[in-house]
Amino acid sequence: MFFIPLKYPFCFFWQMLISSNKFAESLNALMGQSATLFLVDRNEFSKIGDNPEYPVANIAAEKTTFEKSFEGLLFLITKGSRPEDISIVRQIFYPEAYIGEEIDFENIDIDALPDDFDFDKQPLYFNDPATVAEIADLLSAIEPGNIIALFDHTELNEHDIEPGQVWTDDEREGATFNAQHMATELLALKAIYEKAKEQGAYIVSLVD
């Protein structure tokens, strides 16, 4: 696989789904500030059954949390990916497989929902070992230097990438939401996916 800059960055799936201001406002309220990836052994994963509320943290061998940074990291990885890899890149934090009932945001009628509709209730999203291996292989081709080269704080702020207008070119010690921060987060991402691949494990993703 190759990791090459695209002239026109591909933005995330919810940006393609937004078709009205009301929908955008509702969806923006749901967008998470952090993403936690849980590495779950095959045998332990079977304990979940069909229960999306199963306490995954209790059976995870380890976890990695990307606090307010994962949307920026995903944007940069997407920006540097080939068009044919976009689908698998999206699944790094937003797996397609899930347990439970998914809210169909594409076709939902916001006006028809009851006032007490629970937007926080969500399925349990996961990547199976085969998908984990595919993602790990893709990430293995990306180095911190690639992320640093792709990082443009102005672009991230113009696209209003979560958590908002915080992206900076300030590289002083202790500064965050800069190129070095994203490069460090890439290493953490690569590590958990590579370990899951080696163990033939699942990755459960929780965005909140």
Is 7 a residue whose pLDDT tops 70? no
- Please give the pLDDT value at position 124: 96
Nearest CA to 131 out of 82, 105, 93, 186 is that of 93
Q: How confident is the model at residue 119 (pLDDT cuts 50, 70, 90)?
A: low
- Please give the pLDDT value at position 20: 34
What the block records as the tokens of 4 is 């090459």
Mean pLDDT score of the chain, rounded to an integer? 85
Return the number of other C-beta atoms located less than 10 Å from residue 201's C-beta.
26
Is 10 a residue whose pLDDT tops 60? no
Quickly list H helices, the chain.
13-17, 21-30, 42-45, 70-79, 86-90, 129-140, 144-150, 153-158, 179-199
Is 22 a residue whose pLDDT tops 80? no
Q: Please write the tens of the pLDDT for every residue from 54-94.
A: 999 999 999 999 999 999 999 999 999 999 999 999 999 99
What the block records as the tokens of 64 is 């990695």
Q: How confident is the model at residue 161 (pLDDT cuts 50, 70, 90)?
A: very high
Is 110 a residue whose pLDDT tops 80? no
Question: Per-residue pLDDT averaged across 123-152, rounded?
Answer: 98
- Please give the pLDDT value at position 101: 85
Is 28 a residue whose pLDDT tops 60? no
- Please give the pLDDT value at position 33: 86
Answer yes or no: are the C-beta atoms of 4 and 150 closer than 8 Å: no
Q: How confident is the model at residue 145 (pLDDT cuts 50, 70, 90)?
A: very high
Q: Please write the tens of the pLDDT for every residue from 41-62.
A: 999 999 999 999 999 999 999 9
More confident residue, 105 or 153: 153
Question: Per-residue pLDDT averaged across 18-47, rounded?
Answer: 68
- Please give the pLDDT value at position 14: 32
